Structure formats: structure tokens, C-alpha cells
A and B are shown apart, each in its own frame.
Chain A
Amino acid sequence: MSPLALIWKELWHHRANALLVAGGLALAVALLTVVRLTSVAAERETRRVMRDLGFNLRIIPRDTDMEAFWANGYSDQTLPLDTVPRLAAQHGLFVTFNHLTPTLEHRFPVGGRDALLTGLGLSVIGPGEKKQPLGFVIPKGSVYLGSEVAARLGAKPKSKIELAGRSFTVERVLAESGSDDDIRLYTALEDTQALLGLPGRINEIKAIDCLCLTADQDPLSQLRAVLEKALPEAKVLQLRALSDARAKQRQMAERYAAFAVPGVLLGGALWIGLLTVLNVRERRAEIGLWRALGRSSSQLATLFLGKAALLGLLGAGLGYALGTAVALRFGPDIFKVTAKALEPDFALLGWAALLTPVFAAVSAFLPAMLAVAQDPADSLRAD
């Protein structure tokens, strides 16, 4: 009789043990599936929240007069636009910085009052990344208006306004923000450069800090060290509160995964190991008999490890289905912003089907070796 047939018949005979092993594995896989799907959702949601918070690093020309900078909100010095690709080309830069977005900002008369004219260039992200751009991507010839400016001009979406004799289409009117964004006009970088007569120039690179260190871990000195090497003509300012919030959120998510995954794996391994020990004890006489019939150690080990692997496969399928069902049922209540993005991860099913049998067999390895090492004389001796 083939080992698979023997395993199958034994599984059916010891149904309770098999169900407990498969159930334990299914529960572990379900928990990991829920953790994985919700972690992805939490990460997505966090990313959305962080994107809404905006950039947390400002890279400005080194010679900036800081008093004027804080009084005006922008640097009085400029850098060439090619500073961005030069910075991005630095090896390992995206470990520290990301979403490098060139901007040019200056006061500009609009409707008889000064507004903040802000030109936004395209963000540069790390190679191979698929991140959504932060901020706005504004087509040439279009403007986004802050609420105060729009009210002053009486502008509405799709209406036209004139800036320094050039016509622009109002693409969006931004909601009141309670910040200086309410007196801003956003345009494409090239349009702002043309309006200010500063072609090819920028006065700031906005960015995101990827170190994700909290304030007490002193991220600023590391950021400055990296920038000093890559771009000595610039300096970096960190919006501490935003960076700190981002870092804490990220570290919390990492701690959650670091706690949950090993905990589930350890619990699962102990459960399978315990049940396999019980199964081995229950089958002492049978093991002795197989020895008496001349079965080898590898044939005996195959019976126990093969059984564990088969149950692992079953547990993977059941656990994936259960975990996905739970995540899809309750996830949208938790992650309301990105609820629609919660969906089954079929790659996870593949990994579960591949790794769970291996995990189950490894967990059953020690008890299986106990079975193999068992002295058949102990269980076969009658007197």
C-alpha cells in the first residue's frame, strides 16, 4: 500500500486528531491572512492619511535668509531645476528621502492683493516604486485656487482668469484649509517660472522623510548628513510634528506585525507538535508493528511528516478562505477610507499552500523522529 493511501486511511481513522491539526493550521493561516490583508489596508490607509498631511521635509538653498524665509514662507534664493535629478541620482538616497518635488514659490499680485504663487513640478520617487504622487499634478495652463483667492476673483472651476496677461483655466477651487493654502495659486512649475521670469529655477524641493525615526532618535542629523554629501548647496528643514506622527504610525504598524506573525507561528508550531506527540503515543503499537514488518526509518518518518504536510495543505486552503472572509467582512468597517481596495490576495494563497505544509512538517519533525527512534521491543513485548 502506498504511503499516501496509508496516510489517508490513518487520517480518516484518527479524524479528531486530524481535525484538530488541520483546524489549528487553518486558524493560524486565517490569522496571518487577516493580519496580512489588514496590514496592507492599514498601510494603504496610513499612506493616504500621510499624503493628506503632505510633505514633511523642505530642501532649500543653503544661502537662504532664514528670517525672511519664515516671514515669507519661501526662500529668497533659487536652485537650478536639475538639482532634483542630481539629488535623485545619489546612490541610496531614497532610503532617506522620497517624493522629491521641485517647487517655485513667490508672492504675486492677484486681484489687487498679494497671493502665494506656487509652481509644482513632477515628483521623483525611488526607482521601481509604484507610489502615487504627493500633492497635485497640475496641467500647464491650469490653476488650482485657494479659497480666499477664488472668492476674491469670483472664480469657479472651468472659469478663466488672467495672470500677468496670460490666460489660465481654473481647474479646481480648494476647500478652506485654515492655512496659508487659502491664499495660494497652484500652477505647473513651468507656468510659475514663466510668470516670475525665473525659467529653469526652483526655490524649494519638498520631500518625504523615509527614515521614520521619532524625534528622540534624532532623524534630522542623519537627514542633514545625507544631504550634505549629496547636495552641499542646500539644507534641509524637517516639519517635526508631521515626521514624528508618521514615524510613530509606521513603527506601530511594524511592531504589530513583528508581534503578531511570530506569535501565530510559534503557537501553531507548538499546537502541531503537541498533537503529533499525542498521535505518536497513540500509535506506539502500530509503529512497533511497522518495524517488525521491516519498514525503514524513512518510511516511518514519511507517514508522520507526510500526514503533517497533507494537513498543512488542507489547513492552508481552509485558513486562507476563512481569513479572507473575515478580513472582507470586517475590514471595510475598520478601514473606511480605502474599504474598496480590500480584496483577496491570491498570491497569499499560493504562499500559504507552499509554506504551510512545510511549516507543518517542520513542526511535526521532532515527534516524528521520536516515533522513528522508538524501540519496537517496548511496544511488542508481551511478557
Chain B
Amino acid sequence: MITCEQVNRTFHGPGGEVRGLSEVSFTVARGEFVAVQGASGSGKSTLLLTLGGMLRPSSGRVVVNGHEFYRLSAAERGRVRAEGIGFVFQLFHLVPYLTVLDNVLAGLPGSVDSTARKRAAALVDEFGLSARAAHSPATLSAGERQRTALARAILKQPAVILADEPTGSLDPENAAAVFRHLAAYQQRGGTVMVVTHGQDAAPFASRTFRLAQGQLAELNASPTAR
């Protein structure tokens, strides 16, 4: 499902060269829940954006859902992303001028028909947001915002969900709820990759990696979670 081969990403700044990712190689199979732990600045977001086709690596190969991403044009990468990858971000990134329901629908690549509206409404209900469906993001709590973002990622039933610090702005209760939703998605056959600075994703993950100074190392494999 996801293959990274010797991926490097170097940034050039006024302070000199910074290695965001260094010789990163791993494979994630379909239906896995993988957690990547790392301190702030360790390269977690760089890894996730690289896997999402939004940050070209300096070298190496990235294959997601059968597509070797960086051999595709930007438009083709956009299409692959629109159809097969769901994103969840720490800062939610909801569209401020859309309602909760419309934000969830914004995740769909094509036109929105009545079936899609019904599915979105059902998802909003499943995520406990029915009463907030017509509200704007500004009026939501952090937990509600992240659940909205999660519903948006799940609605199109992507092959992979990439979550970047999805619980970084949430209290423990809401954080646990987010991981439960991600785990439920994985149990329905989806692939999930979560990067966090803490260990709170580990109990839900089948495998856990640690990222430090751009280098990735596998910590353990959890047969129970798998």
C-alpha cells in the first residue's frame, strides 16, 4: 500500500542545510494502522506530506496505492490524492466559510449528489455532530473540529488516511475518540498512518516507528492491534 525506498529530503535555509528525512525506507501493507512517533522538528510532517504527494523528496522512491507519486505530474498527483488519500491535520484545516456538513462534503473529489449528501449526513451523525451540521467551524470545540476533519477524510473512503498530529490540539478524551474512529476505519479495511509526538497512538497501532532527526526506526509490532 505504501512503500518508501531510501527517501531523503533536504531543506536549504539561511542557517545551512537541514536533513528532514534521511534514508527512510519502510513498507505499510493494506489494512495496517501504523504510528510514527517523534519529537517536534523530527521530520514527521515532512514524512507525511512526502507520502501525500505534496513534498517532493530530494531522492528516493515513494509508492502509494500503486502510484509512484513523484513520477506523476502535479495534476496527476492531485487526482490520486483526491481519490485515494484522506488527510487529517493537527490544526484541523476546516474551510471557515463552510458549515460542518459542507466541510465534510468538501472531501469528495467530484460533484455532490443526493447520495453523497445522505452519506455525509450519516457520517456526521456517526461522529456525534448532527446538532452542529449547519454550524460554521468557528463555533465548534476543538474536538468537534477534529471529528469534522476526520469525517471529511473518511467520507470518500480513501485507501489511505494520513494523519498529522491529529490529537495535538485535543484533550485526552477527544484524542481517544479520534483514535477510536481511525481504528474503526482500519478495521473496515482502510490503511492508517498517524504521526504524533507522543505515544497515544501506539495502543491502536499494529506497528510503531520512531522518527528522530529524519531517521526512521521500527520500535515494535503489536500482534493484538494488527
Residues of A at the B interface (CB closer than 8 Å) are: 1-2, 6, 9-10, 12-14, 285-286, 288-289, 291-297, 376-377, 380-383
Closest 5 CB pairs of A and B: A294-B82, A13-B97, A294-B81, A381-B45, A382-B90
In contact, B105 and A380 (Cβ under 8 angstroms): no
Could you tell me which B residues sit within 8 Å of A by CB distance? 38, 40-46, 49, 52, 54-55, 74-75, 78-83, 85, 87, 89-91, 93, 95-98, 102, 105-107, 109, 111-112, 164-165, 168, 197
Asked if residues A292 and B96 are in contact (CB atoms below 8 Å), the reply is: no
The answer to whether B96 touches A13 (Cβ under 8 A) is yes
Contact B89 A295 (CB under 8 A): no
Name the one of A12, A289, A295 contacting B82, with C-beta atoms under 8 angstroms.
A295
The residue in A285, A293, A296, A376 that gathers the most chain B C-beta atoms within 10 A of its C-beta is A293
Residues of chain B lying within 8 A (CB to CB) of residue A285: 91, 93
Enumerate 24 A-B pairs (CB-CB under 8 Å) in ascending A order: A1-B98, A2-B111, A6-B98, A9-B98, A10-B97, A286-B95, A292-B87, A293-B81, A293-B109, A294-B78, A294-B85, A295-B82, A376-B49, A377-B46, A380-B45, A381-B46, A381-B49, A382-B44, A382-B90, A382-B164, A383-B43, A383-B46, A383-B165, A383-B197
A291-B78, A292-B54 known; A382 vs B45 contact (CB < 8 Å): yes
Contacts of A1 in B (CB 8 A): 98, 102, 105-106, 112
Q: Which residues of A contact B197 (CB under 8 A)?
A: 383
When distances are taken between beta carbons in the complex, the residues of chain B under 8 Å from A382 are: 44-45, 89-91, 164-165, 168
Closest to B164 in A: A382
A356 to B89 alpha-carbon distance, docked (Å): 39
Not counting A1-B105, A383-B197, a sample of 16 additional A-B residue pairs whose C-beta atoms are within 8 angstroms of each other reads: A6-B98, A12-B97, A285-B91, A288-B93, A291-B54, A293-B82, A293-B107, A294-B85, A295-B78, A296-B78, A297-B74, A380-B87, A382-B90, A382-B91, A382-B168, A383-B46
In the docked arrangement, what's the CA distance between A288 and B52, Å? 12
What chain B residues lie within 8 Å of A9 (beta carbons)? Answer: 97-98, 102
Residues of A within 8 A of B80 (CB): 294
With both chains docked as a complex, state the minimum distance between the C-beta of A289 and any C-beta of chain B, in angstroms. Answer: 4
CB distance from A382 to the nearest CB of B (A): 4
Shortest CB distance B65–A (Å): 13
Please give the distance in Å from B156's CB to the nearest CB on chain A: 9
